Amino acid sequence: MEAIIGFLIVVFIIWLIRAASRQSDDARAFRFSEIEPDPTGTPVTIRTKIRGVSHRNLDGTGRQKIIRNRCHEGDALLLLREPDNPLDRNAIQIRRIVCKQNKRVPGEQLGYVSRELAEELAPRLDSGTAMFAKITALTGDVTGTQKRSVGVNIEIQEYEPVPVAALPRDDQVARRISPSPAKASARRLRAGSRT
């Protein structure tokens, strides 16, 4: 009996550690459905895969670990230009959008848009077009049992142009991906707080 109780305690501790590693730094994934719709009409939609998912980020974090532990179907992603990339002047990063301290901010990098697609999209991003994406599927070895990479299928949506001067500011990105006051009020009411 003591062995069974000890085993259950160990399993519970392992579960707690894995749950904590999935959502560290008080961040949660931002759902694509929380992005405000494009007021100019139906956005352009592109389906593709994230490239470079098996590489490490500059800070040393493994993209595969981020994808396995923190990414889910429907999560929102942000496309950010990286014009100073020495390998591709049209490079476009794909980053998670996370909620930290009630703000939506760019999160960890998952990879890049393909070189061919980046060549087409980079000029539009540079001219002020906003692009977001959502994860449509995680493919490959999602559980990590087969020692193979996990792939990420995404759907990119292109939104109306915004002033280029507003793009570098993080608060502009946060405002664009923040829910409307009506949605925020409805969410607070569902949560039980009336502020």
pLDDT in tens, 24-50: 445 666 565 555 555 555 667 899 999
pLDDT score for 32:
59
**Residues in the chain with pLDDT values less than 70:** 1-43, 160-195
Angle at which helices 2-22 and 63-70 pack, to 10 degrees? 110
pLDDT score for 172:
47
pLDDT score for 167:
46
pLDDT score for 100:
83
pLDDT score for 72:
93
Predicted TM-score (pTM) of the model is 0.65
Domains of the chain (ranges; CATH) run 27-180 (3.30.70.2330)
Burial 14-47 (b: 16+ CB within 10 A, else e): eeeeeeeeeeeeebebbebebbeeeeeeebeebe
